Amino acid sequence: MNVRRLIPSTAVAGAVVLGLTALSACSTSDAADGGNGDKLKVTASFYPMQFLAEKIGGEHVAVTSLTKPGVEPHDLELTPRQIGSISESDYVLYLKGIQPAVDDAIKQSGVKNTVDAATLTTLENHGSEVSGHDHGEEGDEHGHEGEEAHEEHSEGEGAHEEHSEGDGHNHGEEGGADPHIWLDPVKYAEVAKGVGTSLEKADPDHAADYKKNTDALVAELGELNTAYETGLKNTATKTFITTHSAFGYLAERYGLTQQGIAGIDPEAEPSPARIQEIHTIAEKEKATTVFFETLASDRTAKTLAKDTGLRTGVLDPLEGITDKSRGADYIEVMESNLAALQKALGAK
């Protein structure tokens, strides 16, 4: 997650034309793959959106994710074919603020049924509340960036600048709002309901199935929420340390405190001052573990753990599923995250 490369708006416009040409010339395009028949062509921006589309759409949809397994979503560069495939979609599901390159391409795609998951629930700013020490020496500077975020987003290069500076903390362009809503099963269920309703409107012929699938998924997410509530109710500590400050909603939902390592990149080396600060926090709050994620290097976590005498562990922000993921899908990985948190927090 080192450099955020965004496609300027003019390039997106040109690439749409190129992409459409590529689609007409190449019948093997992901989104226009033969054999889909009358299925609704759905484009999802990255894994959490893909999971919803597949679970709710079921047999009636053909889902293509713009972010392939193992690719860090924030680093995504869209090919002309991908930009063209967005325009060819019947339905697009994305989460504004995570992938500005995708946001820009979707804005210019002209697709009628376009759903921004961020509009289906309430976003919050976790820059200081849940992870008050996330920014280390950069805290004040970051706060100002959040205020200017909305303006920057509309300027392409400005959005690039803000997003890269805010990474690991807020990501969002809308006033610094935290977009990691899928890591809270309750908020994710709210999004699922909205997706279900929008699919019913986009494809009325299969509305009953979409509703049935939505109800089943919402029930499953309800069980996951109950497991988290029960599993994290009584713990020796409420504080966990992570290289990627993606867990603000989860922390808030279950009464925990997320401490992010200073720096804008999960792979960045923490400063000596921050290492000392984390050490002090760990001692005071009895934190035991420094968590890293599956799509990024564990170097920072190991460095910090070595310097502070803490353990390391995996807490997956679920931005993608690979063969390294501790589970085959969203539900399984969230269950693995729960087990990891219970161990780190000393669940009783």
What three-state secondary structure class fits 235? strand
Question: How is residue 197 written in tokens?
Answer: 């309703």
Closest CA to 281 of 341, 343, 238: 238
pLDDT score at 117:
98
C-alpha to C-alpha distance for 265 and 246, rounded to whole angstroms: 12
C-alpha to C-alpha distance for 63 and 76, rounded to whole angstroms: 18
C-alpha to C-alpha distance for 199 and 93, rounded to whole angstroms: 10
Which DSSP state fits 124?
B
Question: How is residue 236 written in tokens?
Answer: 């020796």
Angle at 244 between CA 240 and CA 245, to 5 degrees: 65
CB 121 within 8 A of CB 137: no
| Helices vs. strands in the chain: H and E counts, helices first | 12, 8
pLDDT score at 279:
86
C-alpha to C-alpha distance for 262 and 99, rounded to whole angstroms: 22
String of DSSP letters for 270-305: PPHHHHHHHHHHHHHHT--EEEE-TTS-SHHHHHHH
String of DSSP letters for 208-234: HHHHHHHHHHHHHHHHHHHHHHHHTSS
**For each of the chain's 348 residues, which pLDDT tens digit applies?**
433 333 344 444 444 444 433 333 333 333 334 346 689 999 999 999 999 999 999 999 999 999 999 888 888 999 999 999 999 999 999 999 899 999 999 999 999 999 999 999 999 987 533 433 333 333 333 333 333 333 333 333 333 333 333 333 334 334 478 899 999 999 999 999 999 999 999 999 999 999 999 999 999 999 999 999 999 999 999 999 988 788 999 999 999 999 988 544 555 667 788 778 888 999 999 999 999 887 777 887 888 888 778 999 999 999 999 999 999 999 999 999 999 999 999 999
pLDDT score at 45:
98
Element spanning 248, H or E:
helix 248-253
* pTM over cut 0.85: no
Question: How is residue 194 written in tokens?
Answer: 């909205």
CB 227 within 8 A of CB 253: no
Angle at 297 between CA 293 and CA 298, to 5 degrees: 70
Element spanning 94, H or E:
strand 91-94
Query: CB count, 10 Å around CB of 154?
Result: 10
- β-bridge mates for residue 65, sequence order: 44
CB 329 within 8 A of CB 224: no
CB 124 within 8 A of CB 178: yes
C-alpha to C-alpha distance for 143 and 310, rounded to whole angstroms: 29
Element spanning 104, H or E:
helix 100-107
Tracing tokens 């109950």 back to the chain, one arrives at: 226
